[in-house]
């Protein structure tokens, strides 16, 4: 297998630790062809000016986080800015005591681009944009160098920047957002890193009082629990204005909204989801692709889930004509099922080859051994209720590590005894391998 070392390292290390890799997901993407096509369609529509909301729903281990990671990689290829955050008891869509702005700050911390995929990309996005504006002014004025000591040059660059950010004024909070960007530019020109740092603090939602923000930056407002979503909308508009395709926001672990015990607080969080839903589907905003990853309970529980909120239930009910065979992936809710065993088999084949390529050896693990490994894992007591594909993957990579470092290890302890051709043809063996497990 031809694979970059950085990709193979990310895949093996991340999957061993039970998390989704940030790189190389295309090498291990199996069983999600239809979903991938729909994601590409959604991204293309967003590039053309629309917005999209998606709910990826499925049991634990069904691949919700994985598909959000795949969206991130596809979005980078299409020149999107991407960010993500997990819901926790301290990070919510609505809350007091900075629980909502904590979610916003996490999203800003994880802001990424294809050239800076690991987060903290906000300064590089702003600096790249300012440099591009300067180059434009230099070309228009036939200049060969940046002239920060030339007040006319600086004012012309600032005028170009104002032309872009003035388009944010019509959005709630846009005026202050524009003023902060102007302050950041002035810090850029004057090499005033303290001013730039204060501007970034404001943009990340880290100011606690309006008084402090006014003293430091001359603005009357701050990003807080009540207005943070307005600034996500502004950010999606801004990145489109400066040449990106749009903004992708992946929100995972939505089960933590379902677990909120206070009914009014839970409903307020669902009300925010309704607001986002309406904004994206009614065309009130462009350039935003927002996804939620959650369990079936989070969606369908009529006591505490999204279906407990009548307006959301009406909007999120599945297309009544959809079946397991004929699916409608254009609707907001996409239900994910765990990989079938033949898809798991294909995935483990790829991991076997990635492990060999990464460690530069010829693999001796056969397809038959992989098949027996899957059967052995699913035959363990309690596997049908508790075993996930992620568990199988972690165990398999661990087995690869053991066999690579210890060639004399008894392989039957991992893969079981080799079956004869006659045994493999028995209904018992075939049914165990071909059935779909969760």
Bigger pLDDT: 58 vs 169:
58
Q: What is the mean pLDDT of residues 284-300?
A: 94
Bigger pLDDT: 165 vs 420:
165
Q: What is the mean pLDDT of residues 333-359?
A: 91
Q: Inform me whether the pLDDT recorded for 307 exceeds 50.
A: yes
Q: What is the pLDDT of residue 397?
A: 95
Q: What is the pLDDT of residue 429?
A: 47
- The tokens describing 314, both together, are 């009406």
Provide CB contacts within 8 A for 315, sequence distance 6+.
274, 277, 332
Q: pLDDT tens for residues 246-273?
A: 999 999 999 999 999 999 999 999 999 9
Q: Inform me whether the pLDDT recorded for 201 exceeds 70.
A: yes
Q: What is the pLDDT of residue 319?
A: 85
Q: What is the pLDDT of residue 290?
A: 97
Q: pLDDT tens for residues 28-38?
A: 888 888 889 99
What's the whole-model pTM score? Answer: 0.86
Q: What is the mean pLDDT of residues 233-244?
A: 93
Q: pLDDT tens for residues 397-428?
A: 999 999 999 989 998 888 887 765 554 554 44
Contact predicate 181/164, CB 8 Å: no
Q: Residue ranges per domain, the chain? A: 32-113+244-335, 122-217, 341-434
Cα 196 off chain centre by: 28
Q: Inform me whether the pLDDT recorded for 433 exceeds 90.
A: no
Contact predicate 228/173, CB 8 Å: no
C-alpha closest to that of 366 among 380, 357, 353: 353
Q: How distant, in Å, are the alpha carbons of 51, 60, 103, 179, 229 from that of 182?
A: 28, 45, 25, 5, 22
Bigger pLDDT: 20 vs 427:
20
| Range with lowest mean pLDDT among 89-93, 140-144, 177-181 | 140-144
CA gap 109, 9 in Å, rounded: 24
Q: What is the pLDDT of residue 386?
A: 73
Q: pLDDT tens for residues 80-128?
A: 999 999 999 999 999 989 999 999 999 999 999 999 998 999 999 999 9
Q: What is the mean pLDDT of residues 332-343?
A: 87
Q: What is the pLDDT of residue 435?
A: 44
Q: What is the pLDDT of residue 438?
A: 34
Q: What is the pLDDT of residue 419?
A: 64
Confidence of residue 371 (pLDDT cuts 50, 70, 90): very high
Q: How distant, in Å, are the alpha carbons of 9, 10, 394 from that of 354?
A: 9, 11, 14
Q: Above pLDDT 70, what percent of the chain?
A: 95
CATH 3.40.50 fits 32-113+244-335, yes or no: yes
What is the gyration radius of the CA atoms in the chain, in angstroms? 25
Q: Inform me whether the pLDDT recorded for 348 exceeds 90.
A: yes
Q: What is the pLDDT of residue 436?
A: 39
Q: Inform me whether the pLDDT recorded for 42 exceeds 70.
A: yes
Q: Above pLDDT 90, what percent of the chain?
A: 60
The mean predicted confidence, pLDDT, of the chain is 89
Bigger pLDDT: 386 vs 277:
277
Q: What is the pLDDT of residue 437?
A: 39
């Amino acid at each position: 297998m031809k694979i970059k070392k950085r990709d193979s390292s990310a895949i093996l290390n991340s999957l061993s630790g039970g998390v989704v890799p940030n790189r190389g997901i295309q090498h291990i993407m199996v069983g999600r062809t239809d979903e991938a096509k729909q994601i590409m369609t959604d991204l293309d529509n967003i590039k053309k000016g629309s917005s999209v909301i998606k709910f990826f729903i499925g049991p634990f281990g069904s691949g919700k986080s994985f598909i959000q990671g795949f969206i991130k990689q596809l979005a980078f290829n299409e020149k999107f800015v991407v960010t993500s955050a997990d819901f926790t008891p301290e990070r919510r869509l609505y809350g007091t005591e900075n629980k909502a702005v904590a979610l916003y700050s996490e999203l800003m911390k994880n802001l990424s681009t294809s050239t800076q995929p690991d987060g903290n990309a906000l300064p590089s996005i702003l600096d790249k944009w300012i440099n591009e504006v300067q180059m434009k002014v230099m070309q228009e004025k036939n200049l060969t160098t940046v002239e920060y000591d030339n007040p006319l040059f600086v004012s012309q660059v600032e005028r170009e920047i104002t032309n872009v950010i003035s388009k944010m004024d019509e959005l709630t909070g846009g005026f202050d957002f524009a003023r902060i960007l102007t302050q950041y530019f002035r810090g850029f020109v004057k090499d005033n890193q303290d001013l730039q740092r204060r501007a970034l603090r404001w943009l990340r939602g880290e100011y606690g009082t309006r008084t402090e923000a006014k003293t430091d930056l001359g603005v009357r407002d701050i990003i807080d629990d009540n207005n943070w979503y307005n600034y996500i909308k502004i950010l999606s508009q801004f990145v489109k204005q400066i040449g990106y395709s749009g903004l992708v926001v992946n929100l995972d672990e939505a089960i933590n909204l379902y677990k909120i015990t206070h009914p009014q607080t839970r409903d307020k969080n669902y009300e925010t989801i309704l607001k986002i839903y309406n904004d994206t589907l009614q065309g009130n905003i462009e350039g935003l692709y927002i996804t939620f990853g959650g369990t079936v309970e989070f969606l369908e529980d009529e006591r505490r889930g999204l279906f407990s909120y009548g307006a959301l239930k009406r909007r999120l009910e599945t297309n009544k004509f959809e079946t397991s065979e004929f699916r409608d992936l254009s609707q907001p809710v996409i239900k994910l099922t765990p990989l079938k065993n033949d898809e798991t088999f294909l995935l483990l084949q790829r991991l076997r080859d990635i492990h060999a390529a990464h460690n530069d050896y010829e693999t001796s693990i056969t397809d038959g051994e992989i098949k027996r490994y899957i059967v052995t894992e699913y035959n363990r007591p309690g596997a049908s209720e508790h075993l996930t594909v992620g568990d199988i993957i972690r165990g398999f990579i661990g087995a690869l590590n053991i066999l690579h470092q210890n060639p004399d290890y008894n392989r039957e302890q991992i893969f079981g005894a080799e079956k004869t051709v006659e045994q493999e043809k028995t209904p018992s063996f075939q049914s165990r391998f071909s059935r779909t497990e969760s």
